Amino acid sequence: MSAAPPVIEFNNIIKRFGAGRPGESGVLALDRISLSVPVGEFLVVVGPSGSGKTTLLRLINRLSEPSEGHVLFEGEDVRALDPILLRRRIGYVFQGVGLFPHMTVAENVAITPRLLGWPKDKRETRVDTLLELVRLSPADYRNRLPRELSGGERQRVGVARAIAAEPHVVLMDEPFGALDPLTRDAVGQDYRRLHDKLGLTTVMITHDMLEAVLLADRIAVMHQGLIIEEGTPHELMSAARTDYVRDLMQMPRTQAARLKGLMEGGAP
């Protein structure tokens, strides 16, 4: 069986901030990044603050531009695409959601289909379908305002909004970081279920290694603007090549061992 084709490709990407003045090269944020994301993959990008994770994500939908190299989306260089139309082809979920406070849940979810000119009956059907998918009853939630929702409910609406126009690709920037641990786990697992059910391609950023291990098909570890390792959760946990990645992978292993000890009646 042939490998799935890439839907996103980073080819030798360099990104500098503050460059442009004579004699100034700027701050190097990404250093010759090459990475492909095949159709249907759930890729999680991890690394410390300042490692370049969000910068990498923002290149995909042209919220930022590379200093050198090329970003391809479905085989096309993103710089040849209209940025507004490109963003309507890609779902985007981020921490804090950013729902429009004066719009109802249904109006928030339907915003991109409305901008794309979908007829009203199709939008209404899509809203109800998506609310059911994210485990929010349409009868109970479609006419609520964002201020009437809990943090987890707002994040579920954010996910529904991101996939409302039937994108094949969803970008997620620390999407569950503001949620309490119980809600965070539930929303994360529900999104993974949606990813599989709808055949999405997802690129997610997180600081939480346990979250990465539990959700990802593949993990890319960034450090100082470089991808220093990538692989499946099993590959990185069992055979990491660098001390930094071994230390990262030790965190969920240590948490699991402590939990096992507690369940068996031992000390934490």
pLDDT in tens, the chain (268 residues): 446 789 999 999 999 998 666 556 679 999 999 999 999 999 999 998 889 999 999 999 999 999 999 999 999 999 999 999 999 899 999 876 689 999 999 999 999 999 999 999 999 999 999 999 999 999 999 999 999 999 899 999 999 999 999 999 999 999 888 788 888 888 899 999 999 999 999 999 998 888 999 999 999 999 999 999 999 999 998 888 888 888 888 877 776 666 666 677 765 5
Distances (CA, A) of 88 to 21, 112, 161, 171, 205: 34, 7, 11, 12, 20
Compute the distance between CA of residue 224 and CA of residue 53 in angstroms, rounded to an integer.
10
Task: Determine the pLDDT at residue 266.
Answer: 62
Q: How far is CA 36 from the centre of its chain?
A: 15
Structure tokens given for 203 = 């690129």
Task: Determine the pLDDT at residue 1.
Answer: 40
How many other C-beta atoms lie within 10 A of the C-beta of residue 221? 26
Closest listed residue to residue 152, CA positions, set 120, 200, 189, 196: 189
Compute the distance between CA of residue 1 and CA of residue 62 in angstroms, rounded to an integer.
33
Where helices occur in the chain by DSSP H, the ranges are 53-60, 83-88, 105-109, 111-115, 120-133, 138-141, 151-162, 181-198, 209-215, 233-239, 243-263
Where helices occur in 52-180 by DSSP H, the ranges are 53-60, 83-88, 105-109, 111-115, 120-133, 138-141, 151-162
Compute the distance between CA of residue 33 and CA of residue 9 in angstroms, rounded to an integer.
10
Closest listed residue to residue 257, CA positions, set 228, 237, 240: 237
Strands 6-17, 68-73: parallel, antiparallel or unpaired by DSSP? Answer: antiparallel
